[in-house]
Amino acid sequence: MSEKKESRDWYKEAVFYQIWVRSFCDGNGDGIGDLYGVYDKLEYVKSLGVDAIWFNPLYPSPNADYGYDISDYCDIHPDYGDLDQFKKVLNKAHELGMKVIMDLVINHTSDEHKWFKESRKGGDDNPYKDYYIWRDEPNNWDSFFEGKAWEFDSLRGQYYLHLFAKKQPDLNMDNPKVREEVKNILRFWLSMGVDGFREDVINFISKKEGLPNGIGFLPVIGSIHNFKDGPHIHEYLAEFRKVCDEYGAVQIGEGPMTTVNTALKYLSGDTKSMDMMFSFDHMTADCLFTEYLHRPFKLIRLKNALSKWQYKLAGKAWNSLYLENHDHPRIISRYGSEKYHRESGTALATAYMFLKGTPFIYQGQEIGMTNIKLSSIDQYVDVSTKNNYIRYHVKDPIEARLHRIHISSRDSARTPMQWDASENAGFTTGKPWFFVNPNYKDINVAAEEERPDGILNYYRACVKLRASSKTLLRGSYKEYEPGNPLIYMYERRLNKTSYIVICSFSGEAIPFILPKGFAGHSAKLMLTNYPRKRKQGEIGILPKKGLRLSPYEAMVIKMKRV
């Protein structure tokens, strides 16, 4: 057993930081974030107390879907640097004590990948002929990003399948040669020293035989049962797991619409192929399936989703915890309040960072970045944002259509990182590739560094507290007052030690009578986002008359249980 293999479990005590490099930091002044910028900011990342970095795709790509359309799996996009620069970043991250995981996108490639260019040519003795999914006649599936899921290719004289954008043809994973290619990609990066992978739409890689029609009248989701958790998924993933086992690499699956029961198949038992899965349930507390189908935020939906995963995975599998990533608008603008920016940003951090599992922090989340509101659809760049705009609600007035984009676009998570109050938020000395959020003068890293009670230092305190306690790392989870529409309360417990997390999601001050069994107990305040109102470290008796919670007040208290 290699040294790495023995230590694969490191992820259970880790906190990850996610870097979407194009908007993180520009090191060479061309307006695009790159690995030179990342190199310079690694100390900052480390200062958060995190243990690992997940990089979104860094590979060459025509950027039809900003890196998720890969044209070469074994190189670095020239916009971001080269393999040497990547190795420098990797080594420095390791020296600073941080692991590095890459994004693995194998459901599809770019149409500019050599395999697809060759496959288009057809021909019986063409080795790439069956690398993709070609048909003479399309079925009725919709793509997620651009109309129907089939595009006619005039060179080959056939249609190819693309579950996402037209420029993202789906690979044919039933072809053993394609699976060998995937294993070679894994080996390429693992032998360089990367520590694992986040695996893109991994539950879609095995399609139902014969590609049967979906339920016609349901747009997009009507065909999902034909490719989600498909017939050979666990066989194929077992092959990839074997390679990762050789290196002790961590695997984190992204599985859109994964239910907790199907996730357990990926995470445990004979079919275990992943160490964690990203759940989506808790990301629909203000929408249906996707942020574009908005509905008002309800805390109860969020609590139900989080608790469901906490309870069902207990003792069987490990949770990944996140509130933001490059695919979702900013969380303060969604589940919190821009008015109570600091308060709700810190309350949201408290609500998820102490759950059982591995927290992920997305760049900018730690300083409370918020959604951007661009004035015209032409200013947006994300393929799915544009698609939603031209396809749905087209008869609504422009303002209403733009409002839907403002609250749902992935571009809000992709604006340049706000480092300081200087021009372009300190992201670049050139012309930024995308709009900087105009609130950067107030919301930026440098300003947050000066605010002891700000969101940034609160994240640091959360990471530190979590790492310091076996109870928070390994203890059980129990939710209290699940029916309370304004307060999220849960307990983490190990033997006789308990940590109680209480978070108000109300913009008003509200009373909170503690549930049975708490009043009269002695407890220590371990963390508060109202340090002027309550004294951290103070030991007191939990009051019978309850607590008066200020807007978005959050706290973590420690107590002994008998």
Active site residues: 200, 254
* Rounded least distance, CB 201 to ligand NOJ, Å: 5
Tokens for 159? 């249609």
Site for ligand NOJ in 291-320 (CB under 6 A): none
- Nearer residue to ligand NOJ within complex by CB, 51 or 200: 200
Tell which residue, 36, 22, 35, has the closest CA to residue 66: 22
Tokens for 472? 């928070």
- Nearer residue to ligand NOJ within complex by CB, 153 or 327: 327
Which residue has its beta carbon closest to ligand NOJ?
68
> Binder to ligand NOJ among 73, 164, 227, 512 (CB under 6 A)?
164
Residue 102 binds ligand NOJ, judged by CB under 6 A: no
Whether the CB-CB separation of 420 and 429 falls below 8 Å is answered with: no
- For residue 346, give the H/E element and its range: helix 341-353
Number of amino acids touching ligand NOJ (CB under 6 A) = 9
Q: Which residue has the tokens 């203000």?
A: 286
Tokens for 82? 């080269």
Beta strands in 465-537 (DSSP E): 476-480, 487-494, 497-504, 510-512, 522-528
Residue 16 binds ligand NOJ, judged by CB under 6 A: no
Measured CA to CA, the distance from residue 380 to residue 372 in angstroms comes to 10
Q: Which residue has the tokens 């080269």?
A: 82
- Nearer residue to ligand NOJ within complex by CB, 41 or 326: 326
Classify 198 as helix, strand or coil: strand
Fill in the amino acid letter for 450: E
**DSSP code for 395:** T
> Binder to ligand NOJ among 32, 58, 102, 105 (CB under 6 A)?
105
Residue 104 binds ligand NOJ, judged by CB under 6 A: no
Residue 170 binds ligand NOJ, judged by CB under 6 A: no
* Rounded least distance, CB 107 to ligand NOJ, Å: 7
Q: At what angle do helices 83-95 and 35-47 cross, to 10 degrees?
A: 10
Site for ligand NOJ in 200-229 (CB under 6 A): 200-201
- Nearer residue to ligand NOJ within complex by CB, 108 or 558: 108
Tell which residue, 532, 494, 472, has the closest CA to residue 350: 472
* Rounded least distance, CB 256 to ligand NOJ, Å: 7
Site for ligand NOJ in 36-65 (CB under 6 A): 65
Residue 153 binds ligand NOJ, judged by CB under 6 A: no
> Binder to ligand NOJ among 327, 366, 491, 553 (CB under 6 A)?
327
Tell which residue, 65, 60, 72, 55, has the closest CA to residue 168: 65
Q: Which residues bind ligand NOJ (CB under 6 A)?
A: 65, 68, 105, 164, 200-201, 254, 326-327
